[in-house]
Amino acid sequence: MNGFKIIVCVITLLSFSQQFAQNTKLSSYTFGEGYNFTNANGSTVKLQGYMQPWMDVETYRNSDEPNSVRYRMRRLRLRLSGQSANERFSYRLQVDLAGQDEAQIDGDITDARNYLLDAYVAYKVARRVELIFGQRATYTDNRELFMNSNTLQLPERSRLTSAFASIREFGLFAKGTFRTGRGTYLKPYLTITNGDGANVFANDRGGLKYGTRIDFLPFGLFTNYGQFRQADVVRELTPKLVVGATFNYNDGITSRRGRNSGRIVYLNDVNGNGALDDGEERLPDYAKFGVDFMFKYKGFSVLGEYHKSFVTNIAEDINLRSDIYGPDVSVLTDRFRGRVNPTSSDFRDYTPQEYVRRQMMLGEAYNIQAGYIFKNGFSVDARYTHINAETNSFLNNATFYNRPNFYTFGISKYLTRGYGAKIQASYTYVEAGEFGVFNNNSEPIPGDESLIRVILTLSF
């Protein structure tokens, strides 16, 4: 089945290219930025892609545990985007042929490998206002999330992103870019999405998700889309700064943070028979807000983020739950692979309201990172991430979280003047929480952890 999906993705991309190939010529190519084609009618198409083979080594301090070593293709992406001759209509199709593991990811479960990343059409209703419909990275996550993966300062994004970001969503997006005088710009964003993440093929549960972001750029726009790229490869000649704030509200959530649909459903057993179909849903609401900034100047860059989440409207009459999360990894995996999960009135010695909170990503975090690219292409970078979990929150889970502090140091070598080719390595010291942590097999670890990561990026 997975091989079939890969073939479908490739054929789709090739068919787009073949349809466009008639009366089409290559207008430009820049290594790392993709191929630009122009049709006889004036419409344009860009084909981009990159691959990122990856290695990571996890070690445990004060433990006889063997090192955990993993090799994989972290990303293998193809992107096809285009624009009409009058520049009003545009579109994007992006796939990742590496997919995602059919397993738990930070405590979540994926239905299948997510080959489809972006699929949307956009229309400019005015010169500086654009509407987008489809699936894409949402604007209302933290700033680091909607930066291109092949432009990251370090091999991987921060733990703040993995803890709180919903990543991609399906819905309606609106964005604007307005000059506000003396070289300043204001960029507002609005989103109305399904609130259940990407590729929701099952029945959609709960309500919609509403979000907004506003960015202010006091020194003008960044060079070459630098607002959406981390490292200052272009070496901005004048200081560039963007400061933003974001908020989103998910009306009825059925997962930990809004990446999936139907993972955790709460009900009131109105008929007293314990049947899922007869129960009335009692879904909590989930909200997040954050502030962030990014600064770049002559190869130096700084990114700072703060994010907080909270749950509202936890019903007092919840007495049933239906979820795929078992008491340990083996049960969780078995349920994911097709077993029917019966409705349960067992809330594991917690009140229903406490149980609801313990299954969600509740708390706050901040992330600060900085780096400098030398003219010879070497870059040195550092990052500190702190997570402060609520008392009842999945952020206290000993296998995936309960790690409040992350200290990362990295070095990169850019093999070209842009993002076309680079090799990156990082070392992260992970501080265990007060009540200890588990390894990937849910076995206790007596000390802290260390992570070594190496990634190679090749773009075309």
pLDDT in tens, 83-126: 999 889 999 999 999 876 433 455 565 544 578 899 999 999 99
State residue 113's pLDDT score. Answer: 57
HEC per residue, the chain: CHHHHHHHHHHHHHHHHHHHHCCEEEEEEECCCEEEEEECCCCEEEEEEEEEEEEEEEEECCCCCCCEEEEEEEEEEEEEEEECCCCCEEEEEEEECCCCCCCEECCEECCCCCCEEEEEEEEEEECCEEEEEEEEECCCCCHHHHCCHHHCCCCCCCHHHHHHCCCEEEEEEEEECEECCCCCEEEEEEEEECCCCCCCCCCCCCCCEEEEEEEEECCCCCHHHHHHCCCCCCCCCCCEEEEEEEEEEECCCCCCCCCCCCCEEEEECCCCCCCCCCCEECCCEEEEEEEEEEEEECCEEEEEEEEEEEEECCCCCCCEEEECCCCCHHHHHHHHCCCCCCCECCCCCCCHHHHHHHCCCCEEEEEEEEEEECCCCEEEEEEEEEEEECCCCHHHCCCCCCCCEEEEEEEEEECCCCCCEEEEEEEEEEECCCCCEECCCCCEECCCEEEEEEEEEEEC
Contact 262, 205 (CB under 8 A): yes
pLDDT per residue as tens digits for the range 212-239: 999 999 999 999 999 999 999 999 999 9
> Is the dihedral angle over the CA atoms 108, 113, 117, 121 positive or is it negative?
negative
Q: How many residues does the chain have?
A: 460
Mean pLDDT for 327-356 is: 62
pLDDT band of residue 5 (cuts 50, 70, 90) is low
Contact 88, 124 (CB under 8 A): yes
Residue 262's alpha-carbon distances to 196, 200, 321, 405, 409, in angstroms, are 9, 10, 11, 31, 38
Which range has the worst mean pLDDT, 175-179, 204-208, 212-216, 447-451?
204-208
145 phi, psi to nearest 5 deg: -65, -45
393 phi, psi to nearest 5 deg: -165, 145
pLDDT band of residue 197 (cuts 50, 70, 90) is confident
Mean pLDDT of the chain: 87
Q: Which of 101, 119, 88 is nearest to 8 (CA)?
A: 119
Between residues 148 and 326, which one has the greater pLDDT? 148
State residue 202's pLDDT score. Answer: 65
Give me the amino acid identity at 149: S
137 C-beta neighbours (distance < 10 Å), count: 20
Mean pLDDT for 314-343 is: 59
State residue 370's pLDDT score. Answer: 98
Q: Is the pLDDT of residue 11 over 60?
A: no
pLDDT per residue as tens digits for the range 386-444: 999 999 999 999 988 999 999 999 999 999 988 999 999 999 999 999 878 888 777 88
Sequence-separated (6 or more) residues with CB below 8 Å from residue 405: 384, 385, 386, 387, 430, 431
pLDDT band of residue 62 (cuts 50, 70, 90) is confident
Domains identified in the chain and CATH numbers: 2-459 (2.40.160.10)
Contact 105, 74 (CB under 8 A): no
pLDDT band of residue 208 (cuts 50, 70, 90) is very high
Sequence-separated (6 or more) residues with CB below 8 Å from residue 269: 275, 278, 279, 319, 320, 345
Give the C-alpha separation, 433 to 291, whole Å. 25
State residue 269's pLDDT score. Answer: 80
pLDDT per residue as tens digits for the range 338-350: 333 556 778 888 9
pTM of the model: 0.89
Q: Which of 242, 168, 220 is nearest to 198 (CA)?
A: 168
Mean pLDDT for 148-161 is: 95
